[in-house]
Amino acid sequence: MVESAGDVRAEDIVFDPPAEFAAQAVATADLYARAAADRLGFWADQARSLLHWHAPFTEVLDWSDAPFARWFGDGRLNVAYNCLDRHVLAGHGDRVALLWEGEPGDSRRITYAELTAEVKRAANLLTALGVEAGDRVAIYLPMIPEAIIAMLAVARIGAVHSVVFGGFSAESLRARIEDAEAKLVITADGGWRRGKVSPLKPAVDAALAGGGTTVEKVLVVKRAWDDSEQLAWTDGRDLWWHEELAQVDWEHEAQPFEAENPLFILYTSGTTGKPKGIFHTSGGYLTQSAYTHRNVFDLHPDRDVYWCTADVGWVTGHTYVVYGPLANGATSVIYEGTPDAPKPGRWWALIEKYGVTQLYTAPTAIRSFMKAGREIPQQYDLSSLRLLGSVGEPINPEAWLWYREVIGGGRTPVVDTWWQTETGAIMVSPLPGVTAAKPGSAQVPLPGIVVDVLDDTGAPVGRNESGLLAIPEPWPSMLRGIWGDPHRFHETYWSRFSDGPSGPVYFAGDGARRDHDGDIWLLGRVDDVMNVAGHRLSTAEIESALVSHPWVAEAAVVGASDETTGQAVVAFVIPRARHADEAAREGGVDELRAHVASSIGPIARPRELFLVNELPKTRSGKIMRRLLRDAAEGRELGDTTTLTDATVMKAIADRVRH
Ligand code: WT7
């Protein structure tokens, strides 16, 4: 048994797939050979065998207008039908789709037949409210079944959802509503978090205040409050979800849409202050979602109880809470609240209660459980688990080993899965019954996926060398663009390297290393994007939130390493002269931190904020974030010779130390 990576080189620790696991594994080694022999034929087979096509496709990939791809372009399908009706028609209507548990302990068990019925009715409601194919619907909901029902109802009528994470502020919600020109917002009064109601509808009211948006109606799910609670209500705009549903039919026949019909927009942070609306379409996205969910998580839908802990507000929630599992007819656990409510151990209690077989979560969660101590999970029976997954940020070998040992009982394979909002689905991951697992490494591209590590000039790096992660061949679940901004799409993702043999090469924004076996190790972002607790935040967006405060003249933000959340937000602020006293008085710094939380959302609140007189800049005026990161992490300062004034950094480093 290996307890910690300690003095062993992490890349020398290897766990072979357990024999009993390999013997029953969904994915076998021949997938690699089949995909390598005929990559497009392989994807066509996956699309045909995993999905139902109302009209079959004849063309697999059209890359002639690269980087704008068309996958299965002449095929027609209905995404919701694939996630619901066809399972019922195949005789699985009584299979449980969702095992939902609210934070207060209430629960719902929803079968495929029931979920299908609910989605049909909700689709009728959307149509009654005037939502048509192609229209955008914003969804701002807690982790309740209605979030999934709403997404699938939007998909069922060929409209486009834009789910906004409930932790985002009113301001962030408004920006997303405006950018997508949403016609309808679906929200709830609030959701439960840490024993309290976290209100949502008031944020929608604030986001829409003053008018000027394209929103016509707001549908409100009653979740958290009883009737005695007062919610502001705008007559003619606001409607109760349950009252409206009671007025419409239960029957609804799913119509087919083109494979390239947009399915959703999901906003993510980039290197500028404005979030990017990453948009995905239907046939290719659903194919790769179902394929990766089945093969990476070794899904046996008739007997597994699968749990992905992500919120539907992030891409992991889209692909591995909603579309992948439901396309595969899986039974999933969905939990509304936080892991420590009402006390630590809630997750382990859920695993014991529902007999969870696969758990998919983020390294930040694993590290926080490590910190709380193994005594907590050890009080529960976790023996139902047979596979563990990790996503969202690099997982350090210590956390990987702890996860396998303490949560997986030393018997489960662990899959470290690399992907992005943009890739739509998993790209790099071991196959649990095939790949000998290496703690801390995402290892190998999945069968059908081509990923490479390139140097600055675009040439592949050798073994034991580092470079940039790149994707030289298009893949089915790739983003189809940035909503309304084809220029930025080009610039951000397709212009870093010159064209390869298949056309433009995708730049992921991550650094990576190949080890002596050729396995891939992710090294974190190489741009001004931070990864805090597995969530992407932009330095520029937080800086612009800070300078919107009247006290702030200038701000610089860096991601400093943090032992639990991977990175944490650290801000350096120059106050305006006439407000310097206010900023410096007691509580001043906290007010600035709170301002970021209220402009973007609590996840963006800086862990630390330092008031400084100057920022380190090069002669061309560029802020040297590398030096600020050194200071924030308490390291010796790197090279300061390119600064206009080298004493600035010394003053900052002294400030951080005190
Ligand atoms: C960024 C994408 C993938 C869904 C959740 C996050 C980082 C993601 C890993 C991993 C190392 C990872 C990358 C990537 N990342 N998975 N297994 N190992 N880094 O999606 O918000 O679009 O962020 O998360 O830096 O670029 P996202």
Q: What is the pTM of this model?
A: 0.95
Specify the residue with its C-alpha closest to ligand 1, atom 19.
393
Distance CA 327, CA 86 (A): 9
Which regions of 431-498 does DSSP assign to beta strands (E)?
A: 452-454, 465-471, 481-482
| Residue 503 binned pLDDT confidence (cut-offs 50, 70, 90) | very high
- Tell me the percentage of the chain whose pLDDT exceeds 70: 98
**CATH 3.40.50.12780: which residues of the chain?**
10-468
CA 630, CA 472: separation in Å to the nearest integer?
A: 34
Nearest residue (by CA) to ligand 1, atom 12, is: 393
- Centroid of ligand 1 to alpha carbon of 393 (angstroms): 5
Strand, helix or coil for residue 140? strand
Q: What are 414's two structure tokens?
A: 């662990």
Label residue 227 by pLDDT band (50, 70, 90): low
Q: Where in the chain is CATH 3.30.300.30?
A: 533-657
Instruction: Please choose, from the candidates 267, 18, 47, 230, the residue with its C-alpha nearest in 3D space to the C-alpha of residue 139.
Output: 267
Helix axes 39-50, 30-37, angle to 10 degrees: 120
User: What is the Å distance from ligand 1's center to 368 Cα?
Assistant: 18
pLDDT tens string 465-484: 999 999 999 999 999 999 99
Question: According to the model, what pLDDT value does residue 645 have?
Answer: 78
Contact 418, 446 (CB under 8 A): no
Quick one: 10-468 is in which CATH superfamily?
A: ANL, N-terminal domain (3.40.50.12780)
Confidence of residue 637 (pLDDT cuts 50, 70, 90): confident
Where does ligand 1 bind, in terms of residues with CB under 6 Å? Answer: 268, 315-316, 391-394, 416-421, 442, 508-510, 522, 525, 531, 534, 536
From the CA of 489, how far away is ligand 1's center (Å)? 19
Ligand 1: distance of its center to the CA of 259 in Å?
A: 26
DSSP three-state, residue 524: strand
Kindly indicate the confidence band of residue 4, based on its pLDDT and cuts at 50, 70 and 90.
very low
Q: Which atom of ligand 1 is least distant from the CA of 522? A: 11
User: Tens of pLDDT along 16-72?
Assistant: 999 999 999 999 999 999 999 999 999 999 999 999 999 999 999 999 999 999 999
- Distance in angstroms (rounded) separating the CA atoms of residues 311 and 338: 11
Cβ-contact 360, 412 below 8 angstroms: no
C-alpha–C-alpha distance, residues 347 and 635, integer Å: 37
- Those residues whose C-beta lies under 8 Å from the C-beta of residue 520, and which sit 6 or more positions away, are 418, 428, 441, 442, 443, 444, 445, 451, 453, 469, 512, 513, 514
Over range 577-590, report the average pLDDT: 96
* CA angle (449, 451, 453) in 5-degree steps: 170
Among residues of the chain, what percentage have pLDDT more than 90? Answer: 90
Q: Which atom of ligand 1 is nearest to the CA of 536?
A: 21
* 485 burial type by CB count under 10 A (0-12 exposed, 13-18 middle, 19+ buried): middle
Residue 299 · residue 330 · CB < 8 Å: yes
* pLDDT tens column, 377-405: 999 999 999 999 999 999 999 999 999 99
SS (H, E, C) 147-158: HHHHHHHHHHCC
Predicted local confidence at residue 6, as pLDDT = 45
Q: How confident is the model at residue 228 (pLDDT cuts 50, 70, 90)?
A: low
Rounded Cα distance, 532 and 362, in Å: 11
Contact 134, 126 (CB under 8 A): no
CA of 420 to the centre of ligand 1 (A): 5
**What is the CA(181)–ligand 1 centre distance, in A?**
28
CATH homologous superfamily of 533-657: ANL, C-terminal domain (3.30.300.30)
Average pLDDT rounded to a whole number, residues 598-610? 96
Mean pLDDT (whole number) for 574-591: 96
Ligand 1: atom nearest CA of 395 is 18
